[in-house]
Chain A
């Protein structure tokens, strides 16, 4: 309460700064910085032949399994683009450093990238607590902070953080889409919530509560990601006789939830957010955890029938043009990693970055990239369009409901889109999915 006047002042200053930026961007494009046919070193990190971008990623430590595949996959896509003419003749050099998912290390590596390596932008910095540690710094240094790898609603704050843009389906929208499905298909059933007790889980619950009638929710169980003993929470879900358990959990805790339910012979219908259901990761974790406890399970069988959602085409869709394209690039540039949801994610977000760079013009300043995204981006690999505008910095706006069958997510029904407000309806998306360009590179 005490802080509100100061906050407001900060907001005003930030808004003024944003206006100044827009003015500067307009001024510079008037001078032809966005056009022309020769390349110039138009901004920090941009030379005649190179675009240098940076990122903080959990390459070691607790969050590394799975997530450490994302940056190499994005880099594989950039290499593909580099070998096919680059972005306006410039190669993208992607310098991603390990922060071990430790916020104070995030601060160190991002300081290094911005102040020492002079990167043009920070791209796809991974994690909510980690990226929150640097979002203020990046905005005060006016470094484009694009396509954060986290669905926290906090990146959508254009007045305070004009440089920051989300990308993936945010957790509130995801909660609403899952909630609307549950409301329709499990009417009158007893519903239990299981969620990570932080911004991720709480945003998800916020979205669920906008759709599911409160009278149907029989219990709400939060867990701390640092405490792996979730037996009390599962026992409480069982005691409340929940028939459907909705889970906003990371893969390790989805696996624990499944195993402990099995042990307590509790078998509700599981509905799990896309964050916690990559089938390859999940099946592997289940088998590893069971082995530690001295048991053998078939991971793929245990996750059969879990309801989830997705905002990128499913890895198992053989005929999808995006899957075909990314698989081809994966085979040439990133063959060591398995082709799973994390690799798909990395390539799709890298594609979006190339879209934004092409739109920013031949010789872009940092402000040109921000204003290019503010003017909106055409729909890419995602199944729904982006929300980007000068007043909305959220990314993908919708997804589909799917069921895990034989180790892949099988989409059911149509793509649903919505907004982050309590009143905004969840509606079927009328537009079509886009087809991947034959060249594999977005057209300017």
Chain B
């Protein structure tokens, strides 16, 4: 039943996005592709952080793995697009497995440290093995042109938006089902009380590793999509900043909720462009205008965390949900199984008057 409901929602969304892509201009289509690929990456990360309670500041590195896999496969073997995307997710999942095995032994800041090392170190492999990975210059991704039946004037960016949106919808359906399955429930159990979960017969280590594999596969798929939309993979695209942006997107949107992943992606893609437009159209000097998106990003982050500690999706739910008296809000939160909190947000809520 759940599967059917999710599939139905995905089909409706697909139709809406398809119509939207036709209505928008070529640049908005390009942004749509960007948002969709960030949905894939942040969706995977939000499952890892929000459901299984582990942290990763290294998902940008898994994106690099997926992106380079896609570029190499397209360049040397000229595989069909769907196979390339699947292979990129699979290779990144293997990388996730390797990291997950190590990560299963680590907690909190130590885990964050290991994943951070990954984000810093992995992209520099590209400059170490210049012959294979093309060094700082990176590798060109042979773009797949729109299929002939769409007509010769079909805009490339719309085709890219379709690819990314299709991948995002499939990922969201899979993640939504996974979250509601036995595995999803087990992840929550492990997150909320590890010892209790182990006593209840759950294999804690295997569950933690599985969460890493799932999030790495999503990141790998997103990386391949990034390579396809930007037609290039290079180490400069996969810096630590990217990994932190993914985490920021997950927190801003609302940890553990897939709708939150969509909100987070919209913010990290659209806010910088919008703010730059506003800043330059108001005649600010370029040195100031260039730094305003970074500042705006910070302001949005602070505002969301202060005003909506459980992210934008949490705020939306609070607005749409039945009016609950302030004193009983916390109570109702703990009763509703839908509400997901990272430990940090719970603390801040407890601290609220």
Contact = CB atoms under 8 A, between A and B. Distances in A.
Interface of A: 2-3, 59-60, 68, 71-72, 75, 95-98, 101-104, 107-108, 111-112, 114-116, 128-130, 132-133, 136-137, 197-199, 224-227
Nearest to A114: B27
Nearest to A225: B136
23 contacts: A3-B75, A59-B291, A60-B290, A60-B291, A60-B294, A68-B290, A72-B287, A75-B286, A98-B290, A101-B236, A102-B237, A104-B236, A104-B237, A111-B27, A111-B30, A112-B273, A115-B25, A115-B30, A115-B157, A133-B231, A198-B137, A225-B136, A227-B124
Interface in B185-238: 226, 229-232, 234-237
A36 B152 CA distance: 36
Contacts of A102: 236-237, 239
B138 interface: yes
B137 A199 contact: yes
Given A97-B276, A129-B137, A107 B287 contact: no
Contacts of B273: 108, 112
Interface string B75-113: 110000000000000000000000000000000000000
A50 B124 CA distance: 44
A129 B157 contact: no
Contact of A71 (B26, B28, B236, B286): B286
Contacts of A129: 136-138, 234, 236
Contacts of B230: 103-104, 107-108, 133
B54 interface: no
A316 B75 CA distance: 49
Contact of A68 (B28, B76, B124, B287): B287
B71 to A, nearest CB: 13
A199 B234 CA distance: 14
Contacts, number: 96
A132 B138 CA distance: 9
B37 to A, nearest CB: 11
Contact of A137 (B226, B231, B235, B291): B231
Interface size class of chain B, counting residues whose CB lies under 8 Å from the partner chain: 35 or more
A226 B237 contact: no
B2 interface: no
Find the residue from A96, A226, A227 having the highest chain B CB count within 10 A: A226
A107 B232 contact: yes
The 9 closest A-B pairs by CB, nearest first: A59-B290, A115-B27, A104-B237, A116-B27, A107-B230, A115-B26, A98-B290, A133-B232, A103-B234
B135 interface: yes
Contacts of A98: 276, 290, 293
B257 interface: no
Contact of B287 (A59, A128, A197, A226): A59
Contacts of A224: 124, 127, 136
Interface in B133-154: 135-138, 140
B348 interface: no
A197 B130 contact: yes
Contacts of A3: 75
Given A59-B290, A111-B157, A197-B127, 20 more contacts: A59-B286, A59-B287, A60-B290, A75-B286, A96-B286, A97-B276, A98-B276, A98-B293, A104-B234, A111-B27, A115-B26, A115-B27, A116-B27, A129-B236, A132-B137, A132-B140, A197-B130, A197-B135, A198-B137, A226-B127
B30 to A, nearest CB: 5
A35 B127 CA distance: 51
Contacts of A97: 276
Contacts of B291: 59-60
A114 B25 CA distance: 12
Contacts of A133: 138, 230-232, 234
A116 B236 contact: no
A75 B75 CA distance: 40
A112 B236 CA distance: 20
A225 B137 CA distance: 12
Nearest to A72: B286
A180 B230 CA distance: 41
Interface in B291-316: 291, 293-294
A74 to B, nearest CB: 11
B34 interface: yes
B181 interface: no
Contacts of A136: 140, 231
